[in-house]
Amino acid sequence: MADRNRHVIVLGAGPGGLACAHKLAEYGYKVTVIEKESFVGGLSRTVRHGDFRFDFGGHRWFTKNKHLHDWFLRLMEGQLVEVERISRILFNGKYFDYPISIKNVLQTAGLWTSFLCVVDYSLNTLSNALKKRPIHTMEDAFVSQFGRRLFDMFFRRYSEKVWGRPCSQMSSDWVSQRSKGLSIWTAITNALLKPKDKKAKTLIETFVYPRWGYQEIPETMARVVRAAGNEVILEAFAKKVDTSDPKKVVVTYEKDGRSHQVEGDYLVSTVPLTSLLMYAMEPKPPQAVIDAAKSLEFRSVITVNLMLDLPQMTKDTWIYCHDEGLGFARLHEPRNWSPDMAPKGKTSVVLEYFCSKDDAVWKMSEAAMVEWGKKDLCRLGFVKPEQILGGFTVRAANAYPVYGQGYLEKLKRMRDYIEAQERVAIVGRGGTFRYNNADHSVEMGLVTAQMINGEVTKAAVLDINTDLEYHEKDMVEASLGADAELVRPAAGGGTKI
Ligand SMILES: Cc1cc2nc3c(=O)[nH]c(=O)nc-3n(C[C@H](O)[C@H](O)[C@H](O)COP(=O)(O)OP(=O)(O)OC[C@H]3O[C@@H](n4cnc5c(N)ncnc54)[C@H](O)[C@@H]3O)c2cc1C
């Protein structure tokens, strides 16, 4: 089986890179993880500020893959708390339950608006049945699924805050990845049949969460990787990936102001695919691949983290803020995820501001962002200015891969190039330019380790998070044999190094 003398280099210590390293270490490979930051976790980080802890946006672990979930429970044994999920949408000054429930829409929006939504939805469904309309954009997809009125109420403004452009300029792929299977009929059957009909239960009501914040997950994986005698090198920026010698991969990284080299038999990259292709690969990819990489973009996120002098602000896990007067798109209160996220008698809040790298918001100073956050929060009416003890910001430039119109064709060019590299694999959210949640990245990492160990093909990795089933659908058994340890069947075997 595995040969301890075989060495795999993993770029990036986020959930995807560490899951891959974790599985490889379990097989017995030698692994070196190279991470540019001073912490592990990537976007799934938790920042400590005194006795407060803040995730980079509320992170919920959820997977519909039972084998993956069992693996996760084994990994995090003794570290998890159960959280009740209570989320709301703020729209035109009113709070709607999320997931949307018919009863709550009736109560909150009123009979007339609800009636108009139902008429609009019915006419939309009828017209869809009579003539199939082409679905190209995010707007087409939402309207076809929910009708224009519900799209305007529950999807348009939030999506436009997140993506920074009209839904008509976004590809429909994101909607099919995230909301397929959600429909008004599901909501109606939920409302009418909920206790009896298990199939109609579409959105989970509780979830598990690491007691000290989401970063406990990558930290636990990193501990296991190190305990097996491997290195996770922090503050090490990977600059070059040289594949010119067909027998090895050579990575050059910067650490402590010096250049270092490490040689491996295989490379797994979770760094943004665009950067990998534009700056790091040696020999350089063809110009068409570089041009494709240049044309794809990520949305950035700045979180404003505020400490509050009150025991609890709301009961919510998340509030989605559609109102245009508010700069942030979503907030969460860490104490509602785990009481250990804030000191006794105090609470805190995380506000998510979306922007693009180098735009006016991205360039705002920390002090200005915190002031903006304070003003926005006070407008919601939960908190008075004197109850805000202070705040700080956390930023990530490459947070959300943008599925703009025509992105897929360019992405295919880039992925085909990587596919052809015998000793290189890509994993993760930025790494594959796919809108992954952490569980998808973990699954990709684990399956990539299986692929390196000769159990599955590269195609099995890129298959993950493409079945376009709504993520929060009732947890279903993965279509695996009972003895399949992990996630994907061994389709044709892979390239064991
Ligand atoms: C606001 C927000 C909320 C979210 N909420 C959820 C949620 O509720 N549930 C959920 O499951 N997921 C959620 N996610 C998504 C989750 O954070 C990501 O899916 C997950 O962290 C991706 O893991 P990854 O390993 O693929 O990538 P990343 O976490 O991005 O890790 C990549 C790593 O590579 C490193 N790196 C990059 N370039 C280099 C280089 N040149 N050299 C060395 N290292 C490098 C980075 O520093 C980083 O550590 C959320 C994300 C955001 C932004």
pLDDT tens digit string along 330-383? 999 999 999 999 999 999 999 999 999 989 999 999 999 999 999 999 999 999
| Minimal-distance CA residue to ligand 1 atom 34 | 12
Mutate which of 44, 395, 432, 444 for ligand 1? The one with the most ligand atoms within 8 Å of its CB, which is 44
Q: Give, in degrees to the nearest 5, the angle at Cα 397 between 167 and 226.
A: 125
Alpha-carbon distance of 159 to 152, in angstroms, equals 10
Task: Give the rounded percent of residues in the chain with a pLDDT score beyond 70.
Answer: 87
In sequence order, which ranges of 299-396 are alpha helices (DSSP H)? 366-380
SS3 424: strand
Q: What is the dihedral of CA 463, 467, 468, 473, to 10 degrees?
A: -130
pLDDT at 476 over 70: no
The C-alpha atoms of residue 320 and residue 158 are separated, in whole angstroms, by: 8
Q: What is the pLDDT of residues 401-436, one digit of tens each?
A: 999 989 999 999 999 999 999 999 999 999 999 999
**187 Cα to the center of ligand 1, angstroms:** 32
Residue with tokens 């006794």: 344
- 343 neighbors 52 (Cβ within 8 angstroms): yes
CA distance 443 to 438: 9
**17 Cα to the center of ligand 1, angstroms:** 10
Least confident of 16-25, 110-119, 184-193, 246-255: 184-193
DSSP 8-class letter at 155: I
Q: Which strand (E) or helix (H) includes residue 87?
A: strand 87-91
CA of 184 to the centre of ligand 1 (A): 32
Q: What percent of the chain stands above pLDDT 90? A: 69
Residue 439 has pLDDT above 90, yes or no: yes
Residue 471: pLDDT band (50, 70, 90) is: very low
Q: Tell me which of 202 and 156 has the higher pLDDT.
A: 156
pLDDT reported for residue 243: 97
What pTM was estimated for this model as a whole? 0.90
Cα-trace Rg, the chain: 23
pLDDT at position 486 is: 40
Q: Mean pLDDT over residues 271-284, rounded?
A: 97
pLDDT for residue 214 is more than 90: yes
Average pLDDT, integer, range 248-253: 98
- CA-closest residue to ligand 1 atom 2: 57
Whether pLDDT at 182 is above 80? no
**CB neighbours (10 Å) of residue 243?**
16
Query: Residue 386 pLDDT more than 90?
Result: yes
pLDDT band, very low/low/confident/very high, at 3 (cuts 50, 70, 90):
low
Q: What is the pLDDT of residues 44-68, one digit of tens each?
A: 999 999 999 999 999 999 998 999 9
- 152-173 mean pLDDT: 91
Sole residue written with tokens 């299986």 = 450
- pLDDT value at 284 more than 90: yes
User: 316 alpha carbon to ligand 1 midpoint, in Å?
Assistant: 24
* 377: its two tokens: 């929060």
What pLDDT score was predicted for residue 467? 52
pLDDT at site 251: 98
CA–CA separation, 422 and 152 (whole Å): 47
CA–centroid distance, residue 270 to ligand 1 (Å): 9
What are the angstrom distances between the C-alpha of 437 and each of 59, 212, 412, 465? 9, 20, 21, 9
Predicted local distance difference test score (pLDDT) of residue 131 = 83
DSSP single-letter state for residue 286: P
The token pair at 105 is: 């829409």
Centre of ligand 1 to C-alpha 426, Å, is 14
Residue 441: the pLDDT is 97
Ligand 1: lining residues by beta carbon, under 6 Å: 11-17, 34-37, 42-44, 56-60, 237-238, 270-271, 301, 352, 399, 428-431, 436-439, 441
pLDDT at res. 254: 98
pLDDT value at residue 469: 42
pLDDT at 483 over 60: no
pLDDT at 496: 43
Q: Exposed, middle or buried, 180 (CB in 10 Å: 0-12/13-18/19+)?
A: middle
Probe residue for ligand 1, chosen from 10, 23, 47, 59 as the CB with the greatest number of ligand atoms within 8 Å: 59
Supply the pLDDT for residue 481. 24
